[in-house]
Amino acid sequence: MSETSLFGLAGKKTMIVGGGQGMGESTARFLARAGADVAVIDVVPERAERVAAIVNGIGPRGIPIVGDVLDDSQIPTIVAAAEAQLDGIDAMVSIVGAAAFGPLLDTDAALFDQQIHLNLRYFFLTASEVARRMIKGGQPGAIVGIASVDGQRSAPMRGVYGAAKAGLISLVQTMAVEWAPHHIRVNAIAPGHITTPRLFDTPSRVDAYARSLLPAGRRGTTDDIGKAALFLVSDLSAYVSGTTLDVDGGLLAQNLFPHGLPGSNQG
């Protein structure tokens, strides 16, 4: 057995929502290297086209699809276009999302709705549309959403983002259970601090602070996320569903009192 065939992705049809840069680009590269065709969906045409060309350069088919998943009415059209151009959908990785920063007491209803839409609602609609088509085609499949460590713990200054990502983690569990009879696996990735195109301009003092908090001693890379996505859509995770994989360099595993409680000889 070749190393690539371990993934079981050769000739498989995959789509990445928000595939046009950063984590999406890394995921596209890894899926293509495992032999999968990739539909790269992005709201920015040049981004979709650039990453689709990278996939074509690796070997499998890269298909750019331009669309806005924050427009509910476009979601069925986007998924239908991916299905038609790929000739089926075996896997979907959904990347789109972003945090708004500010305390809860400065968060109005409009910002609350914007964060839930951007980080939860579109994922619900898109994953459901993909699952319906997988079920109709009698195809097994894999779906991956991007959550965040902010959905696993409190998220001061980005509380609604954290709540939306916690919602995504919950949805993934319910989707995994409800869609298991159709052989559709659904999982999430919870990235920690990842250097992405949007975060390249992080001031170095913030970066040094973040690094000092990370057991791994470094921020994550988009490839760290792409590798996790490859695992979760591949045969290597055939018995993994409903889980959230923390890709955080050990951030959430830390113990605030690693040497016992201060002033106590008890653990």
Ligand X SMILES: NC(=O)c1ccc[n+]([C@@H]2O[C@H](COP(=O)([O-])OP(=O)(O)OC[C@H]3O[C@@H](n4cnc5c(N)ncnc54)[C@H](O)[C@@H]3O)[C@@H](O)[C@H]2O)c1
Residues binding ligand X (CB under 6 A)? 18, 20-24, 41-44, 47, 68-70, 95-98, 146, 148, 191, 193-194, 196-199
Nearer to ligand X, 13 or 47 (CB): 47
Question: Nearer to ligand X by C-beta: 35 or 126?
Answer: 126
Which CB atom, from 21 or from 241, has the smaller least distance to ligand X? Answer: 21
Query: Closest separation between CB of residue 41 and ligand X, Å?
Result: 6
| Class of residue 263 by CB neighbours under 10 A (exposed 0-12, middle 13-18, buried 19+) | exposed
Strands (E) in the chain, as ranges, are 13-17, 37-42, 62-66, 91-94, 141-146, 184-191, 244-247
Closest by Cα among 170, 165, 135 to 153: 165
Measure the CA–CA gap between 67 and 80, rounded to whole angstroms.
12
Min. distance of Cβ 266 from ligand X in angstroms? 35
C-beta of 34 vs 155, nearer to ligand X: 155
- Beta carbon of residue 249, minimum distance to ligand X (angstroms, whole number): 11
CB of 47 to ligand X, least distance (A): 5
Minimum separation from the CB atom of position 164 to ligand X (A): 9
Smallest distance from the beta carbon of 197 to ligand X, in angstroms? 5
- C-alpha angle with apex 57: 59 to 17, nearest 5 degrees? 85
Residue 90 or residue 248: which is nearer to ligand X going by CB?
248
Give the bridge partners for 190, in sequence order.
246
C-beta of 32: minimal distance to ligand X in Å? 17
> 86 or 146, CB closer to ligand X?
146
Alpha-carbon distance of 80 to 39, in angstroms, equals 11
Calculate ∠ Cα 88-187-30, nearest 5°: 60
Position closest to ligand X via CB: 97
Helices first, then strands: H and E counts in the chain: 8, 7
Rounded CA Rg of the chain = 19
By three-state DSSP, how is residue 185 classified?
strand
Least distance from ligand X to the Cβ atom of residue 48, Å? 8
Measured from the CB atom, is 143 or 194 closer to ligand X?
194
Considering the complex, state which of residue 196 and residue 244 has its C-beta at the smaller distance from ligand X.
196
On whether the CB atoms of residues 166 and 179 are closer than 8 A, the answer is no
CA-nearest of 27, 138, 147 to 92 is: 27
Q: Are strands 37-42 and 13-17 parallel, antiparallel or unpaired?
A: parallel
